[in-house]
Structure 1
Amino acid sequence: MNELPEFFRTEVYHPLFVHFPIVLLLIATLFKIVSLWSKKVTYSEGGSILLILGVISVWIAVYTGDQADGIVSRQLCDPTVLKEHENLATTTAWIFSMALVLDLLLRYVESFRKKSAYYIVALLMLAGSVTLTLAGHHGAELVYQQAAGVNVPSEDCSEFN
């Protein structure tokens, strides 16, 4: 049987895209927290831009993870870890999406501009960072403990000659 080239295997896209939301959303959270006490608009603006890019990328990561699910789940010893990883990732995407909607309302709707709303955005992002970290931990468990999506070469590595 003729296998697809590595580039076209759908399970390969998830690890390619999953690192973007991790970095973008964690730094966005840090910027938004700092912006609560800083007089510099740069932190708030930067946090908003990173949040927009992070939300886009987290939904791409969720989508590519769903694509990889059918291939990866067949070879796992404990599929409950995969389910927990998926649930946490989806929860993360929704939490940061809610923070983004509120952040945009704060930016563009005058009646939403209350100091407490800025704290709610930061708290949502902090909660999202917790679920993001847990999802990442479960993702690492899948790869490093169960070899999810990993091609295990033969003992003599003859396929590389």
Structure 2
Amino acid sequence: MIELPEFIRTEVYHPLSVHFPITLLLVASLFKLVGIWIPTPTWRQGGSLLLALGVVGIWIAIYTGNLADGIVSRQICDPTVLKTHENNAYLTAWFFSGSLLLDLINRFDLLSGKILRILVVLVMLTGSGILVYVGHLGAELVYEQAAGVNVPSGDCAGF
């Protein structure tokens, strides 16, 4: 069997694309939370920018996760962990997408006020909690089930 170079294996794209949205969305949540008490443009607009970039990133991560699914699901012992990871990733993406929609509604003054800003933060914090769980499941897939990991032969002949 011919081994593909590491950068061509589609299951590798997911870990490459997932870490930025995790960071962006968690920091965006922090910015928006601080922005409730310190309503400066740095916190509010910074949080909005990080949220928008994170939402784009999380949908890219879901796309690349779907690319990896067909390959990884055949290699792991417990596919229910993968399915739970996938389902909660979608839930996370929808929570943050909803937050972005509410944030845009607030930004363009369709509805505004402190209650809407607090609602945005609450939805983001809920999404953050689920995001941490999704990350835990992803780590479990990689470190306990070797999902997407190239396991070398016993004699390491491929190196």
**Length-normalised TM-score, structure 2:** 0.97
Letter in 2 for 1:146: Q
Q: How does 1:62-77 map to 2 (within 5 A)?
A: 62-77=62-77
Letter in 1 for 2:113: K
Q: How does 1:130-149 map to 2 (within 5 A)?
A: 130-149=129-148
Which stretch of structure 1 is more off in the superposition, 88-97 or 4-13?
4-13
Q: In angstroms, what is the RMSD of aligned CA positions?
A: 1.0
In structure 1, list runs of 5 or more residues that go unmatched. Answer: none
Distance (whole Å) between structure 2 residues aligned to residue 10 and residue 80 of structure 1: 21
Superposition deviation, residue 103 in structure 1 = 0.2
Letter in 2 for 1:39: P
Which stretch of structure 1 is more off in the superposition, 146-155 or 93-102?
146-155
Residues 31 and 98 of structure 1: CA distance in aligned 2, closer, same or farther (over 3 Å): same
Letter in 2 for 1:142: L
**Length-normalised TM-score, structure 1:** 0.96
Q: How does 1:118-157 map to 2 (within 5 A)?
A: 118-157=117-156
Q: How does 1:18-57 map to 2 (within 5 A)?
A: 18-57=18-57
Superposition deviation, residue 111 in structure 1 = 3.9
In structure 2, list runs of 5 or more residues that go unmatched. Answer: none
Superposition deviation, residue 86 in structure 1 = 0.1
Corresponding residue for residue 9 of structure 1: 9
- Counting matched residue pairs gives 159
Identity over the aligned pairs, expressed in percent? 63
Q: How does 1:95-114 map to 2 (within 5 A)?
A: 95-108=95-108, 110-114=109-113
Distance (whole Å) between structure 2 residues aligned to residue 89 and residue 5 of structure 1: 28
| Superposed CA offset, 1:123-149 (max 9, x none) | 000000011000000000000000000
| In the alignment, structure 1 residue 92 sits paired with structure 2 residue 85 | no
